[in-house]
Amino acid sequence: MKQKLETSLRQEIKLTPQLLTLVKILQLPLLELQQVITNEIEQNPFLTDDILEEEDVSYEEVEPELPLKDEIDYEYFFHDEWKKASLPSERYNREDEEFDPISNVEEPENLQDYLLTQSHIFFDDPDEIKIAEEITFSLSDDGLLEISLSELAENLKLPLEKVEYVHSKYKFFEPVGIGSRSVQEVLLTQLENQKKEETLEYRIIKEFYEEFLTNKLYIIENKLKITRSKLEKALESIKSLNPKPANGVWGKSTDYIIPDVIVEQRGEELYVSLNLQSFPEVHLSKSYFDMYKNKENLSQEEKRFLKNKFNAALFLLEGIYRRNNTLLKISERIIAVQKDFFFNGISSLKPLTLSDIAGHIGMHEATVSRAIENKYMDTPSGIFPLKFFFSKGVKNNSGFEVSNKNIMNIIKEEIEKEDPNNPYSDLDLVKILEEKYSIKIARRTVAKYRENLNILPSSKRKGTLRR
């Protein structure tokens, strides 16, 4: 083979350390951002949590080396107003706006988001949603409920019977067994979900759990009067269960969250703002700023140190500034599109995609995706991950888009109203959706939505009790 040298041109995008800092800050939820800011204040003398009066600061003779410095009024970074100056609350009324969905986005990727989404789809009553949210926030890393139901009821000032009802349903969310109070309850719930209440496996876990844990098989064998081979077969089935429902593909459960966005309802209007009350103080230090201005008496090493630290401080503050503005713009658009949801519930949830938001606010889809990652919105209807408001749509016979979450809610409501002795098959649900709601989707799509709701097929629902 003959070897030869060739030259070629190609374009590459390389992120500088400064741009990587901006991207990182954009992705951080408020709780993690608090820690980052605290660490930076400790390490960078140009940053402080002291608030200075505006008249105490002069800005002349400073040349910050920001990549987009013309777009940032960094003078605000000396006092508290820099966090608020471009972040007004916006007001929206209930008049409809134009809406044009484009494409699909992924479902929530972490367990807490997934559980909150299921909570708002499964329950309609505000108190039941609140209970489900509290259960979600009270899970251990393994997915077990860390407080008692009576304590939960006391904290929420709600009847214990209602808490018990919500918990009985919550355990059957995906992953099945989540929110159980013990490993034994996890295993029993998973067996119940498989309709195995009358099986040997279920009886072993319910009646002989201690013997099962200590491997005292001879006791189980003798008391149940079964052969060793039959017992071992049941044990193999039990081993296929997951005693730690939050583990596996989900990893550990998410830590305590602080909502980044707050939505308030006042009459017929909605107001959206950032949660600045939980935002840590961080500003430029006047003393080090003055030192930086009068650097002619400093050594080259001192000048280089101050320059690096000053630019690092400005990059951090710019990153926070951009993060807050981006998050507010996205939240404003979400409220504008989904405002009917806050007044009428999940049946009014519209399809919404990253492309829709990106096009409206003039940003790239990747920026929107990073900005909503692990961010939460505190609303009168409960706490939602921002990703909750994104879903693909299906066109009905009138040409209007219907959110897939809305379709799932319709399926759930129709199944709740069905005759227990003659439950709807997936094909029946296809016909109901088309005839009653003008929504035409395939049977396999109905089956997928039903499974996402953790609802059994009609053959296994027959004769079961309903709420």
In this predicted structure, the answer to whether residue 117 has a pLDDT above a threshold of 70 is yes
In this predicted structure, the answer to whether residue 268 has a pLDDT above a threshold of 80 is yes
DSSP state for residue 351 in the 8-state scheme = P
How confident is the prediction for the chain on average, in pLDDT? 78
pLDDT of amino acid 290: 79
Q: Which of 50-64, 157-171, 203-217, 221-235 has the lowest mean pLDDT?
A: 50-64
Q: Which of 3-17, 140-154, 180-194, 271-285 has the lowest mean pLDDT?
A: 3-17
pLDDT-derived band at 165 (thresholds 50, 70, 90) equals: very high
pLDDT of amino acid 58: 46
pLDDT of amino acid 11: 54
pLDDT of amino acid 61: 41
Distances (CA, A) of 240 to 233, 266, 309: 11, 51, 55
Mean pLDDT within 375-387: 86
What domains, with CATH codes, occur in the chain? 17-41+78-88+262-389 (no CATH), 111-179+249-253 (1.10.10.1330), 183-244 (no CATH), 393-461 (1.10.10.60)
In this predicted structure, the answer to whether residue 399 has a pLDDT above a threshold of 80 is no
pLDDT of amino acid 239: 86
In this predicted structure, the answer to whether residue 53 has a pLDDT above a threshold of 70 is no
pLDDT of amino acid 248: 54
pLDDT of amino acid 187: 94
The most confident of the ranges 1-5, 169-173, 402-406 is 169-173
Q: Three-class SS of residue 92?
A: strand
Write out the DSSP string of 423-441. Answer: PPPHHHHHHHHHHHH-B--
pLDDT of amino acid 202: 93
Q: Which residues contact 187 (CB under 8 A, 6 or more apart)?
A: 177, 205, 238, 241, 243
pLDDT of amino acid 51: 60
Spatial distance between the Cα atoms of 95 and 49, rounded to a whole number of angstroms: 43
Mean pLDDT within 173-199: 92
Q: Which of 36-40, 48-52, 74-78 has the lowest mean pLDDT?
A: 74-78
Give the residue among 79, 98, 74 at the shortest CA–CA distance from 350: 98
**291-349 pLDDT tens trace:** 777 777 778 888 888 888 888 888 888 888 888 899 999 999 999 988 888 888 877 78
Q: Which of the two residues, 102 and 35, has the higher pLDDT score?
A: 35
pLDDT-derived band at 149 (thresholds 50, 70, 90) equals: very high
Cβ(282)–Cβ(275) below 8 Å:
no
Spatial distance between the Cα atoms of 162 and 214, rounded to a whole number of angstroms: 36
In this predicted structure, the answer to whether residue 447 has a pLDDT above a threshold of 90 is no
pLDDT of amino acid 400: 66
pLDDT of amino acid 256: 61
**1-21 pLDDT tens trace:** 556 666 665 555 455 566 667
In this predicted structure, the answer to whether residue 370 has a pLDDT above a threshold of 50 is yes
